[in-house]
Chains A and B, each alone.
Chain A
Amino acid sequence: MKCLLIASESAEVLFYWTDPEFRQNVQDQYGASQEEGQRPPAFEDSLNTLFAPIIISCSTMVDRLGDSYACFTTENQHNYVLHQFDECLYIAVNGDGQECEDDLRRKIYVMKKMIEVLFGMVNLSSNLLRKELRPQDTEQRTGLWKHLQGLLETYSRLRENDQSFLVEAVERLIHPTLCEQCIEFLERRLLPALNSSSERNGEEVLHSFILVHTKLLAFYSSRNTSTLSPSDLLALIVMTQSMYPSNTDQEDPGPEDVESVSVSGLEMFYTPQPSPTNRSSSGSERTAREDTPMFEFVDPDIQIAEDSLITLEVSPPDPLAPTRVFLEVSLKDGLYPMMPHSMYCRPLWPGITLVLLTKIPNSSVAMSVYSYLEAFAKLEKRLSEGQEGPAAARGQPTVHDLRSKLDKFIKALGPCDIQVPYSDIQVPYSDIQVPYSDIQTSQLQNVWSEFKKRAFTRGGPGFTRELIPWCKSMKTQLCGVYKQCFLNGTTRGADAPQRLSPALQELAQAMVQEKLMDWKDFLLVKSKRNITMVSYLEDFPGLVHFICVDRSSGQMIAPSLNITERSTSELGGGPLAQFIRGKVWGLVRTARQYLQKGYSTVTLRDGDFYFCYFLWFENETGYKLDEVDLPVLPDDSPPIGVLARDYYRKLLRYYSKTHAGEVVKCYELLTVHLGVIPTEYILQHCRQLASKLWEPSRNPLL
């Protein structure tokens, strides 16, 4: 019995996901109270009614007590976790004992992360985000919610079954030669081919990677590009898996399967470009896509009309249309969160996917918007702290600096490509889109000139508390500009949607397919048995399982733990493997609990097993650095992990304070031994594993 709900402060449902049991439970509660013959209320309404008292009480508590609910537990062990992000309240419920409080909190944070990746800085304005999450149009809403539900389900499935999502680190396929070849291929052949093409429409491929199921075969970022953070990479893998789910229950494909697989791959390759106006909801779109006749050439006028209708659709129904994702970019002059990118997912064969991330032409606007948003937020903070007058106007950059820059920015933005009227706070939001070209900027201009009048005019109020609402208003306007530029960006004007041309995408797909043709069967098997415990049994008698994570690079190594019915590992299939799996999952959970409270070493004797967990720091040369007191975090702090909030990056930053000028690396090791092995041997094993695993030459399979 599981549920996740996002609600606004006024108890409006912004998103929900439930499993069938929860749905049944709610319907039972309502079915009983319904009169004969009356139709049961819509599920969303029932959900709303049920949770409304909690949501309203939550905001009452915030208003009057400055505190809000974090968690409820009932006597039959149902868990409720609540978290408020700005004005959106997230509630996660579990009633079947499968998820503990930490899991639920993690789910909430992951959902938040996904929304950030999909909506970028619109997250900074609750008002705008609310409208994005709950489009007025029912069909659009259903489509969007289905998409988000799919992401959530994919994440939950991965977290339950995939070790890399358990510890939230990327797992590489261990095959050095092939990996190297592939990276070289991406670097020397694919990216140059794409980035030199005239059909890229101004986009530039920054990152490219090949996934085999959830495991990374090769990753290449073009030079001078900011690195892709582990958190974003994991989120992108979830999205890819959601788009092209790999059937994990399937046994390694036999020869005949491979035959059919390659056929379907070819089919996909020759599939003509589908219409961008295909608006079927994401669930049925894949089937619909294959059946409907495709039009290569569409009357431009029709296209405009249709495009203007789907401006809010974030999940493109067109497989060749990119997904807009907002990722963190770290440049020399600072860290820019939520910068727009386009993501192209090309399935090579079932289970193997090529992902391209491109920089879009006007992405510099996002950077400017972000720096202005930051400046206004800082100003607002200073004002609300009681600083007034010149003191508040100082800061980095100074307000006068900001003024001239913003003036230029607005002028440059001009009436350019912004066509959708955005209604600000005064005017009620309207879904009808009038093709005026500069209303958006005029709103921004209006607010900005009002701001200037108050702030800079001699004899005006100047920098006082009264300016705070105007700061807020400016932020909303800037978010609005950002939204117009990047969330509706694929349907600008009369041009074709902004993207790499279909032919170019197909070229990329074909190139990689050709490269990997001989390897694909091997890769599919390899991804199931990346490394196996067998290779370690001789050196480490009594070792049952281990996971080793390099937190600096966000990568992990662990013997594969196949738990599906049909596949067997050396642990055997079925119950035993399932049992070990349960233990490993439990150990990770426990280790995090202690880590949260500042303990970096944990050993446990639990039933017939002995568990160890270690976290330590090294410098670049492998010298083990001294431990420092780790931060002790409160119970409701963000979950320890990477995907939602990168705890380890913070930890590394915290540690680096005492080790200035040194590259600090952070590692984790978890082991499961048989309980009968004497402790000193267990510790020796751990030590050997810790020193060996990241040295490729000494690892039997690296």
Chain B
Amino acid sequence: MAELMANSGRCTYFFLYDGTKVQGEGDPTREGICYFYPEQTPVDQQELLCGQLAGVGRCVSELSSSPVRVLRLRHSKFAIKMEDDFFWALGCAMDFPTVSMCDRLDQLIKLFCFYNGPVRQSYQTNSRETLALCWSRYLFYLQAGATELHHIFSCLRTIDSTHIDPLLLLKAALILQACQRCPLVLAGCILFRGRVVSTQMPPCLTVRVMAHETQTYNKDERLNGMSSSFPLSSAVTSTTVHLTLSELQDLRSTTVDRESRPHSTPSQGSRPRRTRLSRTLSDTPSTESTPDLEPEPPGRPMRLDAPLSPGLSRGAEQRDATPTNDPLLSPASPRFPEISPLTNQKGPRRGGQEEEDEEDGPLEKSRYYSFHSPDGNTSQTEFQGEAPPPTDASPLGNPPPAGRRAPEREGYPEGRAASGGSGGDILPGAGVKDRTVVPMTLYQHRVKGLLLALLVEPHLQRDTEAMEEVYHSSLASLNGLEAHLRTVAPGAPGLQGPYTFAHYDCVQNTLTTNVSGRAGGDQDHSFVRATSLLHTHFCNSDALQEAIIRSARTAVYATRSVAQETYFLQHGGALRNSGVPNHQDTAFTLPSKARHRLLKHGVSLL
């Protein structure tokens, strides 16, 4: 049973087929196969699948004048992407939710483009073998390790905050803020052994950055030959990555906000935080609780996603304090709908800005200006140089800016496409922005298991002064953080109880659950099955808020809001029932039980 759980999220086939290579009657299909997984598949089988699926895909898309998205056979199913004569197909087991399967394919393609640039172009400049290695690595990365629940929600893996002193998380956030004092740094994240400790980036970018971390952590640091050592230390590397214009704009717009913000704004709030900051950075974190450090609203205990949340909650506090200045609420930034996770970034960043205002404001600003105009030029020229872009990962007309529900969900299913398109609709030319990629640099500073990854403007490498500043400002704190994280016992299973639950944060794209990946019992299996059904249902129905489904053995309760989805199953007590409507049926007590039980996991369903 456990095996089944682990495997059903695994992809069965993945291939990329280039239609331009097979146009004449005599062209063998194999010419068009750029990559095929599993690689040991016999070539004629590869040809059969590629040829038939691509052919049928083309036929259907001509009939409907729209690319095929999902192709299902009796015993397997495929997420399809058709773009610029390329044909991608990702096959999964039948019981894996179709929504998640499509998400994963999009993720995979975007991941490829993030590190290699547009697909057509990278196939022109690199050999198939090199790129095949990339595909297999990304594929492995996307399905490695995590439980099936993680696959269903395509979520980020975070460190288990229940075993970690909250101060460490705060410390990590502060390191990132400190780095952002350098205006060439757009956003960053801190990862520890393949899990997120703290991030300032939208989840879809964090996932991609993590891919590289996993590689370098697992293997040689210079695997794909794209890294180049910084003069500072061998621990620091950098890689060229490619962001779409809209993704870049999202990251940069926060920089602009920082600049345009009135300097005096949060002054009264900054004082206590400053003391907290110094204490955090210098004191040895102790396990004793620090009541004055309660960053979360009262009654809301620390959550598993806490590494990501201090910013969020602080952002919320500040929003309360200075509502008119918050870019979320001001009409100046209409691009970000409801619950933009920019709060997520803005909080820390604002903190950083306070820092800089008080400590080295003038210096900061002058540097900012000095860099700002060249930056504009650079991106301009790059834009022109790359147009018309041969390909990019997101043709659906919309960037996943910060905080789409799941990183790459647009376009599926119906309702979602419409809502997902809003960002693009508002900004004219968003389609072009999506298809145009801009090279940026991923700066990585590794301290054993810990990695600081920053998305920086490419010319940071030439700016030795700025480089040193970033390096030295974070070095000591990183060492300290690493030392502390290392001592934390690695992931003991979450708090167990007579129930199973999963709580998915759509904004931060994180999952809190007490289902452990390996020891999947019968109960866990039926929970996962119900969850995947309900998740699909939530994705397909906008109005659905709450559901209870019950079979003879299990009853699962699910509820969702704009920001979260929660699933709950109560163990024990055989559900002796006839199935006839009965208000004493235990299934209908699930909502109150869930509300009650999940409080101690930091999940509030009120």
Contacts of B552 in A (CB 8 A): 598, 600, 627-630
Interface size in chain B (residues, C-beta < 8 A): 61
Contacts of B529 in A (CB 8 A): 597
Known: A54-B60, A75-B396, A606-B544. A616 touches B70 (CB 8 A): no
A687 to B550, CA, bound (A): 16
Residue from B68, B546, B582 in contact with A605 in the complex, judged by beta carbons closer than 8 Å: B546
Q: Which B38-61 residues have a C-beta within 8 angstroms of A?
A: 48-49, 52, 55-57, 59-61
A599 to B550, CA, bound (A): 5
Residue from A54, A667, A679, A683 in contact with B59 in the complex, judged by beta carbons closer than 8 Å: A54
B residues near A, CB below 8 A? 48-49, 52, 55-57, 59-76, 94, 396, 411-414, 417, 529-530, 533, 537, 541, 543-553, 555, 575-583, 585, 587-588, 591
A35 to B52, CA, bound (A): 31
Residue of B at shortest CB range from A684?
Answer: B583
Shortest Cβ distance from residue B16 to the other chain A in the assembled complex, whole angstroms: 18
Contact A636–B74 (Cβ < 8 Å): yes
Known: A70-B74, A601-B549, A606-B543. A78 touches B66 (CB 8 A): yes
Q: Which of A70, A680, A684 has the most CB of B within 10 A?
A: A70
Contact A72–B70 (Cβ < 8 Å): yes
Contacts of A93 in B (CB 8 A): 63
Interface size in chain A (residues, C-beta < 8 A): 65
Contact B63–A50 (Cβ < 8 Å): yes
A220 sits at the interface (CB 8 A): no
A635 sits at the interface (CB 8 A): yes
Contacts of B75 in A (CB 8 A): 67
Q: What is the interface of chain B mostly: helix, strand, loop, or mixed?
A: mixed
Contact A73–B69 (Cβ < 8 Å): yes
Q: Which of B55, B537, B547 has the most CB of A within 10 A?
A: B547
Known: A601-B550, A603-B547, A627-B552. A65 touches B579 (CB 8 A): no
Known: A67-B73, A635-B72. A687 touches B548 (CB 8 A): no
Contacts of B68 in A (CB 8 A): 72-75
A276 to B73, CA, bound (A): 48
A60 sits at the interface (CB 8 A): yes
Contact A76–B587 (Cβ < 8 Å): no
Residue from A68, A598, A626, A635 in contact with B94 in the complex, judged by beta carbons closer than 8 Å: A635
A677 to B10, CA, bound (A): 43
Contacts of A71 in B (CB 8 A): 70-72
Residue from B69, B544, B575, B582 in contact with A687 in the complex, judged by beta carbons closer than 8 Å: B582
Contact B541–A606 (Cβ < 8 Å): yes
The 8 closest A-B pairs by CB, nearest first: A686-B581, A624-B578, A683-B583, A605-B546, A76-B66, A616-B579, A607-B543, A601-B550
Contact A683–B582 (Cβ < 8 Å): yes
Contact A683–B581 (Cβ < 8 Å): yes
Q: List 9 A-B contacts (CB under 8 A).
A: A29-B62, A74-B68, A601-B548, A601-B579, A605-B545, A628-B552, A683-B582, A689-B581, A690-B581
Contacts of A606 in B (CB 8 A): 541, 543-545
A71 to B350, CA, bound (A): 50
Contact B578–A617 (Cβ < 8 Å): yes
Q: Which A601-620 residues have a C-beta within 8 angstroms of B?
A: 601-607, 612, 614-618
Contacts of A607 in B (CB 8 A): 543, 545
Contact A669–B581 (Cβ < 8 Å): yes
Q: Which of A29, A598, A617, A635 has the most CB of B within 10 A?
A: A598
Contacts of B530 in A (CB 8 A): 599
Known: A615-B579, A626-B576. A74 touches B69 (CB 8 A): yes
A667 to B580, CA, bound (A): 9
Contacts of B94 in A (CB 8 A): 634-635
Residue from A599, A605, A626, A683 in contact with B549 in the complex, judged by beta carbons closer than 8 Å: A599
Contact B56–A54 (Cβ < 8 Å): yes
A71 to B78, CA, bound (A): 10
A606 to B582, CA, bound (A): 21
Q: What is the interface of chain A mostly: helix, strand, loop, or mixed?
A: mixed
Residue from A73, A76, A590, A686 in contact with B537 in the complex, judged by beta carbons closer than 8 Å: A590
A650 sits at the interface (CB 8 A): no
A65 to B69, CA, bound (A): 22
Contacts of B553 in A (CB 8 A): 629
Q: Which A307-325 residues have a C-beta within 8 angstroms of B?
A: none
Shortest Cβ distance from residue A648 to the other chain B in the assembled complex, whole angstroms: 14
Contact B578–A625 (Cβ < 8 Å): yes
A2 to B182, CA, bound (A): 59
A61 sits at the interface (CB 8 A): yes
Contact A690–B580 (Cβ < 8 Å): yes
Residue from A75, A679, A680 in contact with B411 in the complex, judged by beta carbons closer than 8 Å: A75
Q: Which A64-110 residues have a C-beta within 8 angstroms of B?
A: 64-65, 67-78, 80, 93, 95, 97
Contacts of B70 in A (CB 8 A): 71-73
Q: Which of A72, A95, A593, A606 has the most CB of B within 10 A?
A: A72
A604 to B585, CA, bound (A): 16
Contact A687–B580 (Cβ < 8 Å): yes
Contacts of B412 in A (CB 8 A): 75
Known: A601-B549, A605-B545. A80 touches B60 (CB 8 A): yes
A594 sits at the interface (CB 8 A): yes
A271 sits at the interface (CB 8 A): no
Shortest Cβ distance from residue B154 to the other chain A in the assembled complex, whole angstroms: 19
Residue from B52, B576, B581 in contact with A612 in the complex, judged by beta carbons closer than 8 Å: B581
Residue of A at shortest CB range from B575?
Answer: A627
Contact A57–B56 (Cβ < 8 Å): yes
Residue of B at shortest CB range from A28?
Answer: B65
Contacts of B65 in A (CB 8 A): 76
Shortest Cβ distance from residue B511 to the other chain A in the assembled complex, whole angstroms: 22
Contacts of A690 in B (CB 8 A): 580-581
A74 to B65, CA, bound (A): 9
Contacts of A69 in B (CB 8 A): 56, 71-73
Contacts of A65 in B (CB 8 A): 48-49, 73
Residue of B at shortest CB range from A65?
Answer: B48
Contacts of A686 in B (CB 8 A): 581
Binary contact track A37-70/B, C-beta < 8 Å → 1, others 0: 0000000000000100110010011001101111
Contacts of A600 in B (CB 8 A): 550-552, 579
Contact A67–B577 (Cβ < 8 Å): no
A78 to B59, CA, bound (A): 13
Contact B533–A594 (Cβ < 8 Å): yes
Known: A60-B52, A635-B72. A599 touches B551 (CB 8 A): yes
Contacts of B545 in A (CB 8 A): 605-607
**Additional A-B contacts beyond A57-B56, A601-B550 (10; CB < 8 A):** A29-B63, A50-B63, A73-B69, A76-B65, A599-B549, A601-B548, A601-B585, A626-B578, A629-B552, A683-B588
A606 to B73, CA, bound (A): 32
Contact A616–B578 (Cβ < 8 Å): yes
Contact A74–B60 (Cβ < 8 Å): yes
